[in-house]
Amino acid sequence: MAWVSWEKMCQKKKDGGLGFRDLKAFNLALLAKQEWRIIQNPDSLLHKLGNNPLYTWRSLKESKSTIDRGLRWIKGNGRSVNVWWDRWLPTPNSFKVVSPRSQGSMVERVEHLLDRERGFPSLPNDSRIWLWSNNGRFNVKSMYEVAFKELKDEKEKGERGECSNPSKMADTWKSIWKLRSKRKVTEWDGCAWCGEKETSGHVLWDCKTTAKTRKESGQKLPSWKNSHRDFFDIYWKLREKAKDIDWAAFATMTWCIWNNRNLYKHEGRCKPAKVLVSEALRYTEEYKYSNSQTIQTPRQPPRVGSQWRPPEIGWYKNNVDAVVFKEDGCCGVGVVIRNEAGCLIGAMSKKLPFPLGPMKAKARAAEEGILLARDLGLSKVIVEGDAKTIMVAFTESDPDTTPCFIQKVVEGAKFRLNCNTTVHVLARHACKVLDYIVWVEDTPPIILDYIHMDVFSLGLPPINESSIILTIKNF
């Protein structure tokens, strides 16, 4: 029997473990949940007690360093945030200012960076959010991952099979667990067919017996003469250089080769290459057929349709969307505002020169859409986006933490979940924009056909430029 440490079994499946809960990390996550409640409720009795040597405070203190790794300030008036020491920037590494503080600098708080001469409206107080959730709210699941990682970093690294790129190792385990094959590839310890040094790369690839079996399978695989120590290196070379590989058949064939090696080593029997190939082919076909019959309904609910629907009479539909351009390190925002007749009231394509994540980018898109509606003087607005978390967050917005200039629009606005191709095209166009472009009295040429298609699909009368301009002037 092969014994595996508990630490190894508690790792995620993508990291080579079995996904069991680490009890210490889970306990820290539950303690952090209580500390989060105290942070969010400064008027509570426990918060007023401060660093009291009570058992409650001693217990919560255990999770303080862990929860600090997941907190970040959201700027309001900037009075509570230290520019140099606090985590307040949207950079995913440290969330802090990395440049050294210059001598004689008088900047201490974020409020010192605000331009008061521009006449900012009254800003809300600074608040802290939880970094590792989509909506900024604390949850035990994400806290457990932070605590587990912290405990793992504290322990000495044991002997483990690692490739030069850890992200590739995680992707490798993910792809293995997702395969529709009889069994997943397990850990190995050597070859039994020849006298050469036994490694996973040799047993499953370099060995002459293995090469003969793979050739018999008919798969178009490259032949490399140099020896390989780790089979993961071979796997990634195939992923990068070889194409048109049936990975389910490849994994099943690898499993059959490994079983044949164990059969020969422990029982002295060895199956011929043709028998192994026929077994692997039969296993692959059986499981492909079985999965095609059992998986009939998708796990995810069907996505909301992208067909545009007009708002109620007297209201305006504000479609917003965002696109992340990872290679360029920026994001694109698209906004399209139309009335009940489908006439375009305003549109915007804006580039955000920040490497934001998808959810943060869509939140900025909703904010830009609200600001554009405010600039156009619209009060009855229906904001639509394809991110459910963002739409729910605006619907349940807290007046104490939401900026006042957004509250004025939120008070008379409705938020709905929907995706629209027109605004998505405008968001993708932002990569070609230097800063931003706003259209008020004409329709952007790149979405003109989409606008007409949305109107024609609903049976509304055709739109012409004169009707758009007339609507805006009358407004």
| Amino acid 351: pLDDT | 92
- Beta strands 381-385; 344-352: pairing state: unpaired
Are 260 and 397 part of one and the same domain? Answer: no
Evaluate whether residue 301 is within a structural domain.
no
Q: Exposed (0-12), middle (13-18) or buried (19+): which is 213, by Cβ within 10 Å?
A: buried
**Domains: count for the chain:** 3
408 lies in the same domain as 461: yes
pLDDT for the residue numbered 350: 93
Same-domain check for residues 77 and 171: no
Q: What is the pLDDT of residues 218-270, one digit of tens each?
A: 887 877 766 767 787 888 888 887 777 888 888 888 888 888 888 887 788 88
Residue 325 is inside which H or E element, if any?
A: strand 316-325
- Asked if residue 64 is part of any domain, the answer here is yes
Q: Are 319 and 308 in contact (CB under 8 A)?
A: yes
The tens digit of pLDDT for each residue in 373-427 reads 888 888 788 888 887 777 776 666 555 555 444 554 455 556 666 667 888 888 8
Enter the pTM of the model.
0.46
- Whether the per-residue pLDDT at 162 is higher than 50: the answer is no
Same domain, yes or no: 146 and 65: yes
Residues 321 and 237 in one domain: no
φ and ψ at 294, to 5 degrees? -85, -35
- Per the CB < 8 A criterion, the answer to whether 433 and 351 are in contact is yes
Whether residue 215 is found in the same domain as residue 356 = no
pLDDT of residue 296: 46
Phi, psi of 288 (to 5 degrees): -65, -40
Q: How many CB atoms lie within 10 A of CB 75?
A: 17
195 and 344 fall within a common domain = no
- Determine, yes or no, domain membership for 251: yes
CATH number at residue 343: 3.30.420.10
User: How many Å separate Cα 40 from the centre of its chain?
Assistant: 26
161 within a domain of the structure (yes/no): no
CA distances from 92 to 71, 182, 276, 321, 375 (A): 12, 39, 48, 22, 32
Q: Are residues 82 and 121 in the same domain?
A: yes
Does residue 79 share a domain with residue 148?
Answer: yes
Do 24 and 96 share a structural domain? yes
Shared domain check, 139 and 87: yes
In a domain, 359, yes or no: yes
Range of the domain at 371: 316-474
| Residue 457 in domain | yes
344, 463: one domain? yes
